[in-house]
Amino acid sequence: MEKQQFDLVVFGATSFVGQILTRYLAETYGIGGTVSWAIAGRSGHKLEVLKNELGDAARELPILLADASRPDSLDELCRQTRVIISTVGPYALYGEPLIKACVSSGTDYCDLTGEVQWIRAMIEGYEDQAKASGARIVHCCGFDSIPSDLGVLFLQQQAQQTFGHYCTQVKMRVKAAKGEFSGGTVASLMNVAKEAAADPGLRKELANPFSICPPGHRSSQRQPNVKSATYDKDFDAWTAPFVMAAINTRIVHRSNALMATGYGKEFLYDEAMLTGRGLKGRATAYAITAALGGFLAASAIKPTRWALERFVVPKPGEGPSPEAQENGFYDLRFVGHTEAGESIRTRVTGDRDPGYGSTGKMLGEAGACLAFDLDPDAPGGFWTPASLLGQPLLDRLTTRAGLRFELLENN
Q: Which domain holds residue 62?
A: 6-141+358-400
Are 100 and 72 contacting, i.e. CB atoms less than 8 angstroms apart?
no
Q: Is 63 exposed, middle or buried (0-12, 13-18, 19+ CB in 10 A)?
A: middle
Phi, psi at residue 237, to the nearest 5°? -155, 160
pLDDT band, residue 107 (cuts 50/70/90): very high
Lowest mean pLDDT segment, chosen from 26-30, 88-92, 147-151 = 88-92
Sheet holding 81-86, edge to edge: 63-65, 37-41, 6-11, 81-86, 108-111, 136-138, 381-383
pLDDT band, residue 184 (cuts 50/70/90): low
pLDDT higher than 50, residue 20: yes
Does residue 87 belong to any structural domain of this protein? yes
Lowest mean pLDDT segment, chosen from 199-213, 232-246, 268-282, 392-406 = 199-213
Q: Could you tell me if 194 and 56 lie in one domain?
A: no
pLDDT higher than 90, residue 343: yes
Q: Could you tell me if 100 and 224 lie in one domain?
A: no
CATH number at residue 137: 3.40.50.720
Mean pLDDT of 59-65: 95
Query: Rounded to two decimals, what is the model's pTM?
Result: 0.94
Q: Could you tell me if 371 and 307 lie in one domain?
A: no
Does residue 168 belong to any structural domain of this protein? yes
**Nearest in space to 72 (alpha carbons), one of 42, 101, 44, 95:** 101
Q: Could you tell me if 159 and 254 lie in one domain?
A: yes
pLDDT in tens, 30-56: 998 899 999 999 999 999 999 999 998
Q: Could you tell me if 269 and 163 lie in one domain?
A: yes
Are 209 and 218 contacting, i.e. CB atoms less than 8 angstroms apart?
no
| Beta strand extents in 247-312 (DSSP E only) | 268-276
pLDDT higher than 80, residue 87: yes
Mean pLDDT of 93-108: 97
Please give the DSSP secondary-structure letter assigned to residue 149.
H
Mean pLDDT of 159-182: 92
Lowest mean pLDDT segment, chosen from 51-65, 115-129, 264-278, 302-316 = 302-316
Residues pairing with 73 in the sheet: none
Lowest mean pLDDT segment, chosen from 10-24, 98-112, 215-229 = 215-229
Please give the DSSP secondary-structure letter assigned to residue 13.
T
Q: Could you tell me if 169 and 290 lie in one domain?
A: yes
Confidence (pLDDT) at 2: 55
Q: Could you tell me if 113 and 161 lie in one domain?
A: no
Does residue 1 belong to any structural domain of this protein? no
Q: Could you tell me if 158 and 301 lie in one domain?
A: yes
Can you tell me the distance from the alpha carbon of 302 to that of 166, in angstroms, rounded to the nearest whole number? Answer: 46
Q: Could you tell me if 134 and 159 lie in one domain?
A: no
**Nearest in space to 139 (alpha carbons), one of 345, 291, 406, 362:** 362
Q: How many domains does the chain have?
A: 2
Does residue 198 belong to any structural domain of this protein? yes
Q: Could you tell me if 406 and 323 lie in one domain?
A: yes
pLDDT higher for 319 or 395?
Answer: 395
Altogether, the residues listed in the chain come to a count of: 411
Please provide the DSSP assignment of 79-114 as one string: HTEEEEEE----HHHHTHHHHHHHHHHT-EEEE---
Confidence (pLDDT) at 319: 78
Q: Could you tell me if 351 and 230 lie in one domain?
A: yes
